[in-house]
Structure 1
Amino acid sequence: MIEVIDAGFYSSIQDQGRVGYRHLGVPISGAMDQKAFDLAHQLLGKTSDFSCIECTLIGPILRFHEPCSLVLTGAHMQAWVNESPIQNNISIAILPGDVLKLRRATKGLRTYIKINQAIISPVVLGSTSFYKPLTQDAVLKKGNHIFWIKSEKVINKSNARIRWDDSYLLSNDLAVEKGPEFNTLSIAARQQIFQKDFLINSQNRMGYRISSPFSMDAVPMLSGAVRPGTVQITPSGTLLIAGVDGQVSGGYPRIFQLTEEGLNVLVQKKEGDTISFKSLDTLPQKEL
């Protein structure tokens, strides 16, 4: 069992997401950074349980009442077990009474805590992912207890580490494909949008709001399907990029669709960071 001593800024239980319900208006939810989420499972071995704790900006303080192994992936946060510093991408053996302390992110924004046990959390529409009002809570709270299914799995006593490229945490380049309404941009804007840097104004699990100089006349159109990574542009020029908890449809022109790698880069960015769009046509193969 895990006791939440301090919940951090925004910590929630997430898994692979709620697949197959977008036609009912239910977003997919799940882990924002799928690359880090997948790595966590690779480090601890594939299991039938896919739940992790996703931590944003400032992580939680957790006391463990039973032994397990855990790993941190994604953003690099200040992290300790019993005041001893620990690193990302290393399997750590945890004993009863141990305290895991995560504080501010020093590289990236979202960190994943994965243990080698199956977390017990209510399953709603096939997923344990927090998404209020569909689930009772949006985030973990101080005093919460997280239980797991007892198993005979051997606890890893040695810290196993693999080589991993975390350079995407520092990248500002978002790989994109042109969206169905890309040509609603002026000819000049279609060229300039790949040459400029853009400032992130705000972000959360629903999506990102980004400033741009490309104001345009309102485009009469019916609402269209939106999925995580869809980039819409408003008449004022604000860019709206859908997140995993975002709406499933939108009424603004969809000028881009982020690739999976591009979305992983974006969700590790915070307010005040800058990003740029890179067309798949111009990216070297290794960056795709």
Structure 2
Amino acid sequence: MIKVLKPGFYTSVQDTGRTGYRHMGVPVSGAMDIFSAVLANRLLNNEDDTAIVEITMTGPVLEFSEPTHIVITGAEMQPSLNKTEIPYNRVVRIKAGDVLSFGKLQKGIRSYLGIKGGIKTDKVLHSRSLYVPVTKTARIQEGSTLPYEPFKGDIENLIEIKIDNDFLFDSLIKVCPGPEYDTLSENDRKRLENAAFTVSAQNNRMAYQLEERLSSNDFSIITSATIPGTVQLTPSGKMIVLMRDCQTTGGYPRILQLTEKSTSVLAQKRSGERVDLQVLQQHITS
């Protein structure tokens, strides 16, 4: 078991999300930065969809009751084991009684704790991802426990390797034209391709808003499907980027669609940070 001594700002259990239930209005959920979550699992020789711990802004304090191996990926939060700093993107051995804590946030906003064999909380609709009301809580609570299976063996390739995740902390966001992209004026299309945007204070697991606006409009569409990474345009010209806990349908024009990698990049951005959109050629159809 992992005992949660302190939960941190927003710490939750996630995996690659729950699929097959969007027709019932159930969001995908899952790790916001899917690249870092999958990386942690692959370094541990876990399956990609193994449940990990997503840590946002400030880290938790966690005590391990059994031996295992862990990996920390994503945002840099000065992780320490028994008050001794440990590296990112490296497998670290854990003994019974070890305490993991985190320091000051240095880069990015979300870290991921992978554990050999994964977190073994209950599955709901074939996923361990926390999301209210599908699950009882949205984040872990002080004093709660997270089960895992002890691991005393060795992990193959327990060596230092260079992980290229610098792109997560760049400003470049690659997007494809969405189904309603052609409704934009020529001026707005040029603006999308040649201007920087700023992450608004209105950002969470459901959506990120951008500060700068496009032209006001009276576009409307029949309520249509949306997925994580869909960029909606409101009548006031504000752009809303849907994230992992987003609704499954919406009535605002879907002008852009982030690539999966770019959704991970955006998930590592904080309020006030800049993003530069790069519109690719291929269109996303409805």
Matches within 5 A, 1:144-155: 144-150=144-150, 154-155=153-154
| Alignment correspondent of 1:195 | 194
Is the Cα contact below 8 Å between 1:67 and 1:155 reproduced in 2?
Answer: no
Matches within 5 A, 1:163-178: 163-178=162-177
| Alignment correspondent of 1:65 | 65
Is the Cα contact below 8 Å between 1:3 and 1:63 reproduced in 2?
Answer: yes
What letter is aligned with 1:189? D
Is the Cα contact below 8 Å between 2:64 and 2:96 reproduced in 1?
Answer: yes
Superposition deviation, residue 33 in structure 1:
1.0
Determine the C-alpha separation between the residues in 1 that align with 2:144 and 2:220.
Answer: 48
Determine the C-alpha separation between the residues in 2 that align with 1:235 and 1:47.
Answer: 43
Matches within 5 A, 1:88-167: 88-150=88-150, 154-155=153-154, 160-167=159-166
CA deviation digits over 1:152-194, x for unaligned, max 9?
6515599632211121132111111101111222111111111
Determine the C-alpha separation between the residues in 1 that align with 2:267 and 2:48.
Answer: 26
Partner SS state of residue 161, structure 1: coil
Partner SS state of residue 255, structure 2: strand
Partner SS state of residue 93, structure 1: strand
Is the Cα contact below 8 Å between 1:93 and 1:156 reproduced in 2?
Answer: no
Work out the percentage of aligned pairs sharing the same amino acid.
40
Which runs of 5 or more residues in structure 1 are unaligned? 283-288
Superposition deviation, residue 142 in structure 1:
0.7
What letter is aligned with 1:51? A
Determine the C-alpha separation between the residues in 1 that align with 2:187 and 2:136.
Answer: 48
What letter is aligned with 2:89? N
Is the Cα contact below 8 Å between 2:12 and 2:53 reproduced in 1?
Answer: yes
| Alignment correspondent of 1:56 | 56
Partner SS state of residue 79, structure 2: strand
What letter is aligned with 1:34? I
Matched, 1:210 2:207: no
| Alignment correspondent of 1:270 | 270
Q: Does the C-alpha gap of structure 1 residues 48 and 237 become closer, same or farther in structure 2, counting only changes over 3 Å?
A: closer
CA deviation digits over 1:212-247, x for unaligned, max 9?
231322213211111000001111121111111011
Which deviates the most, 273-282 or 29-38?
273-282
Is the Cα contact below 8 Å between 1:211 and 1:237 reproduced in 2?
Answer: no
Determine the C-alpha separation between the residues in 1 that align with 2:155 and 2:28.
Answer: 33
| Alignment correspondent of 1:286 | none
Which runs of 5 or more residues in structure 2 are unaligned? none
State TM-score, norm by structure 1: 0.93
Matches within 5 A, 1:7-26: 7-26=7-26
Partner SS state of residue 39, structure 2: helix
Superposition deviation, residue 49 in structure 1:
6.7
Determine the C-alpha separation between the residues in 1 that align with 2:80 and 2:178.
Answer: 44
What letter is aligned with 2:144? N
Determine the C-alpha separation between the residues in 1 that align with 2:47 and 2:222.
Answer: 43
Which deviates the most, 210-219 or 231-240?
210-219
Matched, 1:3 2:3: yes
Aligned length: 281
Superposition deviation, residue 274 in structure 1:
1.3
Superposition deviation, residue 204 in structure 1:
0.8
| Alignment correspondent of 1:285 | none
RMSD, aligned CA: 1.8
| Alignment correspondent of 2:77 | 77
What letter is aligned with 2:195? K
Partner SS state of residue 194, structure 1: helix
Q: Does the C-alpha gap of structure 1 residues 273 and 49 become closer, same or farther in structure 2, counting only changes over 3 Å?
A: closer
CA deviation digits over 1:12-70, x for unaligned, max 9?
00011101111110011111111111111111113487000000111111011111110
Is the Cα contact below 8 Å between 1:49 and 1:119 reproduced in 2?
Answer: no
Determine the C-alpha separation between the residues in 1 that align with 2:82 and 2:220.
Answer: 59
Determine the C-alpha separation between the residues in 2 that align with 1:132 and 1:252.
Answer: 24
